[in-house]
Amino acid sequence: MNAIYPGSFDPVTLGHMDIIHRAAAISKKLTVAILNNPAKKSMFTVDERIDMLRYACQTLPNVDVTSFRGMLAEFVRGVEGQVVIKGVRNNRDFEYENQMAQFNKMLNNNIETLFMPASTAFSLLSSSAVKEIAVLGGDVSKMVPQNVYNKILQKIAKV
């Protein structure tokens, strides 16, 4: 199976990394696809997010990191594999992701979405929480990969 794991990854968390490791283990190739949405305020540029993810995934030979603009349903037409992986932490995620999956299927009938339950250790983790805690001076070192933690500290020091 060739799979695509799309998201904002602003920044990538250990919860995302858990899904990436588990999805890579059952895929021939996994493409991590970062949405490039200039309308959305972000902490990290898309290039910074690509660099952080590539570094964090360097031990995973079947994982590629790229970015896309516009609709996911169109992006997946251009890459090998039509299977989209979504991590699901709770009922609220499921409701939202299920709706997205239905829309994506309507837009591109070849897409299959697979939901992967978040591991219990990461079921509360989100990029938004990481950013909020970090900006307020809290310790996020156990929530993100080490290279991402260093980048967050650099980013906050510049603010």
The catalytic site residues sit at 16, 40, 89, 127
100 binds ligand PNS (CB under 6 A): yes
148 binds ligand PNS (CB under 6 A): no
6, 11, 15, 145: which one contacts ligand PNS (CB under 6 A)? 6
Stretch of residues binding ligand PNS (CB under 6 A), selected from 20-28, 66-74, 117-125, 128-136: 66-74
Q: 2-19 b/e with 16+ CB inside 10 Å = b? A: ebbbbbbbbbbbbbbbbb
Residues 148 and 154: their CA atoms lie apart, in Å, by 10
Evaluate whether 21 touches 3 at the Cβ level (below 8 Å).
Answer: no
Within 25-64, the residues that bind ligand PNS by CB under 6 A are: 35
71, 116, 129, 133: which one contacts ligand PNS (CB under 6 A)? 71
Residues 52 and 57: their CA atoms lie apart, in Å, by 9
Find the shortest distance in angstroms from Cβ 8 to ligand PNS.
Answer: 3
72 binds ligand PNS (CB under 6 A): yes
Q: Which of 129, 10, 159 is nearest to 140 (CA)?
A: 129
Which stretches of the chain bind ligand PNS, using CB under 6 A?
Answer: 6-8, 35, 71-73, 100, 103
